[in-house]
Structure 1
Amino acid sequence: MTLQDRHRPLTRPAYGRRPECWVPLGAGTNPDAFGLRVGSVPLETGGLLPDVVVAVQTWGTLAPDGSNAVLVEHALTGDTHVVGPPGPGQPTAGWWPGLVGPGAAIDTDRWFVVATNVLGGCRGTTGPATEAADGQPWGSRFPEVTIRDQVRVEALVADLLGIPAWALVIGGSMGGMRAAEWVATYPDRTRAAAVVAACGAATADQIAWGQAQTLAIEQDPDWRGGDYHRSGVSPDQGLGLARRIAHTTYRSAPELEERFGRSPQPGEDPMRGGRFAVESYLDHHARKLSARFDAGSYVTLTRAMATHDIGRGRGGIAKVLRRYTGDLVVAGVDSDRLFPLELSQQLAAAHGRRPAAVIESAHGHDGFLVEVDQVADLVSGQLARLASRHHRRVG
């Protein structure tokens, strides 16, 4: 089996209850993903978002009773492409390599894996760059959406795929926020959840860093109030600045010091207008993101993260989690300065079943992506517990 075969998704699967809801995705999207039209979606802030389409990518085979489904949630600038190589329409390789596939921690010989592009995104799912009913991009008219709205959309996807409950919902960062929201909103449809490098509610520090990023975009003259999509320009400078801010929070200060220190970029002199190596590193990541991601989606999703709170209107986080009887694993990265480990420890304590797991990494928040082996160990243990309980029930 080649690497490409190992990660080849099931792009037009023979499952699902509403085949008329299947729609092709537009040009420039992941060819291994497909679209599901979930209809009009009620939003937490009021009103309906009409004709929502969600990009979906899958691996493995769904059991006849839908009991073996695992939902993998991406972070802020991620997409449906959890594993696999880049290619036409898919500019990036999988963002959690090695976690999903035959014989992997989430073994697709046993589990059916689903990944969706989040509501408000730009990789096939309805977002600011999507055409509205009038044929024009939503742009500034795209409504405020919340993490709770995004999870509601994912529940509609599960309905269309014939999945009554997820065996496991797992995600890191913004994906971990959605995993936690699944526990809060649909506890009976979430047999297990893994919340990695995330929190139950956004902190003031996270909101502050997010505001700096959204303002960087909105103050770019090419932002045009959010209505730039067919203007021939885009706020790439603002998006690049936002990425520099964000990426600095994603890595740890000791790692940056060890990797770059005060070294100049080769061939440049910071004393004469040149860059330090760490500045060149941030420039590189800014260019990469601006080439593949929509600024409007970046603003929309950052704002959604700021309003994240699984306890909102429910009596608080502890009340929500204490009622959850499924298997909850919470893990944090010991060097994370954006989602400090203490946030994971607080979440685990609120659930009251087991302490938070610690991912050891020098890479800061991005440790949840870098330390795949440690994440895989956590997930393998969790899925083994699920399988054991299933066998006991069957027996």
Structure 2
Amino acid sequence: MSVAVSLDQRFGPDRKVRLPEPLVLASGQVLAGLEIGYETYGTLNPAADNAILICHALTGDQYVASLNPRTGKPGWWHRLIGPGLPIDPARHFIICANVLGGCAGSSGPASLDPVTGQRFAMRFPVITIADMVAAQTRLLDHLGIARLAAVVGGSMGGMQALAWAAHHPDRTRAVVAIAAAARHSAQNIAFHEVGRQAIMADPKWLGGEYPADQPPAAGLAVARMAAHITYLSEEGLTSRFGRRLQDRAALGFGFDADFQVESYLRHQGLRFVERFDANSYLYITRAMDYFDLAEPHDGVLAEAFRGAGRAGTRFVLISFTSDWLYPTPESKRIVRALHAAGAPASFIELESPFGHDAFLLEAPEMNRIIQGFLAAHG
């Protein structure tokens, strides 16, 4: 088990641990002084078999079910996790860690390099989803958890959950992957590249060496705006905004935000730069682009899950009808591969007009599915 060099207690809110063992990354580079920011809820039982790991999406953090100390907002999955909810701290020991490369307490480009004492910036090694999961295994070792009851995640969190099954099949009994995919498509990569180029084209980016109080805010805001469109749906945007004007009775014949949807996107961009690091955005989107579970197995996805089949890991996959970022055929492809690998898997497509972000919104049917699945297998 890993031993922390700076931690006052392992369990509770707003935890942070530094793990001394170097982490060998998929690139072959080695990261020393791994730091992980994380939150826990509930109590680990004496058998240490009631732990559920929650994996967050691209712009998420460890504050899954508690107030975010930076934004003051409720946890990003407070509709799913909490007393009386499908993932309940009265029954489960719940862990959520900021991903490797993030900017909410885990090692990332904004962290100090323990070798030089300077901020990593773009000298931080390029990472993968598998590296994020490897860092999470180190945290579980530190917490004394050999095997999880379940790994649960949506979007990039779902990718991590699938990577857990592929790379560490003996360490989880169940996997819940929502609005996810087993690889990033060319379209996904293209949208990320637009965002990265927006950041790097901002004069304040300075090759990644920007001062913390002078970030490339304009570029990061544009990156967020472009990405946010992919999280929504045409139906949802039309229903919510249509072509309605923003605080005016007629067109302004200029380039201010004439339309409500323009104002909304600008607001999303400005809010985002207040809580997220631009370099972290570059690194995490790159990790997602590299994600392809089948690639190491000559393109045969079933082979990636062969170990999960042998381990008896159980799966449920959930998709949404209006999600065009990670559409239903991606989830069905995963389910076919799981069945071919001998892993028990169920799948459901839920009706929703809200696009990819549906997994974060009020979704009673999704909650019922997860509650039933965890009661049976978690």
TM-score with structure 1 setting the length: 0.88
Once the 2 structures are TM-superposed, how far is the Cα of residue 123 of structure 1 from its aligned partner? Answer: 0.4
Matched, 1:299 2:282: yes
Q: Which residue of 2 aligns with 1:249?
A: 230
Residue in structure 2 matching 1:314, options 267, 289, 297: 297
Once the 2 structures are TM-superposed, how far is the Cα of residue 185 of structure 1 from its aligned partner? Answer: 0.3
Matched, 1:146 2:128: yes
Q: Which residue of 2 aligns with 1:83?
A: 65
Counterpart secondary structure, 2:205: helix
Residue in structure 2 matching 1:363, options 354, 369, 372: 354
Q: Which residue of 1 aligns with 2:334?
A: 347
CA contact (8 A) 2:18 2:33 kept: yes
Number of residue pairs the alignment of both structures matches: 364
Q: Which residue of 2 aligns with 1:194?
A: 176
Q: Which residue of 2 aligns with 1:126?
A: 107
In structure 1, what is the Cα distance between the partners aligned to 2:106 and 2:4? Answer: 17
Q: Deviations over 1:321-380 (max 9, x none)?
A: 244221111111110011111111111111124452112211100001114423321211
In structure 1, what is the Cα distance between the partners aligned to 2:327 and 2:88? Answer: 30
User: In the alignment, residue 52 of structure 1 is paired with which amino acid?
Assistant: L
Q: Which residue of 1 aligns with 2:201?
A: 219
User: In the alignment, residue 362 of structure 1 is paired with which amino acid?
Assistant: P
Q: Which residue of 2 aligns with 1:380?
A: 371
**Cα pair distance change 1:165/1:268, threshold 3 Å:** farther
Counterpart secondary structure, 2:53: strand
Matched, 1:179 2:166: no
In structure 2, what is the Cα distance between the partners aligned to 1:113 and 1:184? Answer: 22
**Cα pair distance change 1:91/1:360, threshold 3 Å:** same
Once the 2 structures are TM-superposed, how far is the Cα of residue 85 of structure 1 from its aligned partner? Answer: 3.0
Q: Which moved more, 1:278-287 or 1:33-42?
A: 33-42
Counterpart secondary structure, 1:272: coil
CA contact (8 A) 2:2 2:19 kept: no
Q: Which residue of 2 aligns with 1:63?
A: 45
CA contact (8 A) 2:175 2:315 kept: yes
Q: Which moved more, 1:338-347 or 1:32-41?
A: 32-41
**Cα pair distance change 1:121/1:269, threshold 3 Å:** farther
In structure 2, what is the Cα distance between the partners aligned to 1:64 and 1:93? Answer: 30
CA contact (8 A) 1:359 1:371 kept: no
User: In the alignment, residue 321 of structure 1 is paired with which amino acid?
Assistant: F
Once the 2 structures are TM-superposed, how far is the Cα of residue 269 of structure 1 from its aligned partner? Answer: 4.6
Once the 2 structures are TM-superposed, how far is the Cα of residue 18 of structure 1 from its aligned partner? Answer: 5.5
Once the 2 structures are TM-superposed, how far is the Cα of residue 102 of structure 1 from its aligned partner? Answer: 2.3
In structure 1, what is the Cα distance between the partners aligned to 2:334 and 2:122? Answer: 35
Once the 2 structures are TM-superposed, how far is the Cα of residue 19 of structure 1 from its aligned partner? Answer: 5.8
Q: Which residue of 2 aligns with 1:115?
A: 96
**Cα pair distance change 1:354/1:163, threshold 3 Å:** closer
In structure 2, what is the Cα distance between the partners aligned to 1:375 and 1:51? Answer: 38
Aligned-pair RMSD on alpha carbons? Answer: 1.8
In structure 2, what is the Cα distance between the partners aligned to 1:229 and 1:74? Answer: 27
CA contact (8 A) 1:166 1:190 kept: yes
User: In the alignment, residue 83 of structure 2 is paired with which amino acid?
Assistant: P
Point out where structure 1 has 5 or more consecutive residues left out of the alignment.
Answer: 1-16, 26-30, 388-395
Identity among equivalent pairs (%): 38
In structure 2, what is the Cα distance between the partners aligned to 1:210 and 1:48? Answer: 26
| Structure 1 segments of 4+ aligned residues over 6 angstroms from their partners | none
**Cα pair distance change 1:269/1:351, threshold 3 Å:** same
User: In the alignment, residue 304 of structure 1 is paired with which amino acid?
Assistant: A
Matched, 1:277 2:277: no
Q: Which moved more, 1:102-111 or 1:165-174?
A: 102-111
CA contact (8 A) 1:137 1:229 kept: no
In structure 2, what is the Cα distance between the partners aligned to 1:340 and 1:168? Answer: 24
CA contact (8 A) 1:105 1:377 kept: yes
CA contact (8 A) 1:62 1:68 kept: yes
Counterpart secondary structure, 1:106: coil
In structure 2, what is the Cα distance between the partners aligned to 1:24 and 1:309? Answer: 38
**Cα pair distance change 1:24/1:301, threshold 3 Å:** farther
User: In the alignment, residue 288 of structure 1 is paired with which amino acid?
Assistant: R
Point out where structure 2 has 5 or more consecutive residues left out of the alignment.
Answer: none
In structure 2, what is the Cα distance between the partners aligned to 1:348 and 1:322? Answer: 13
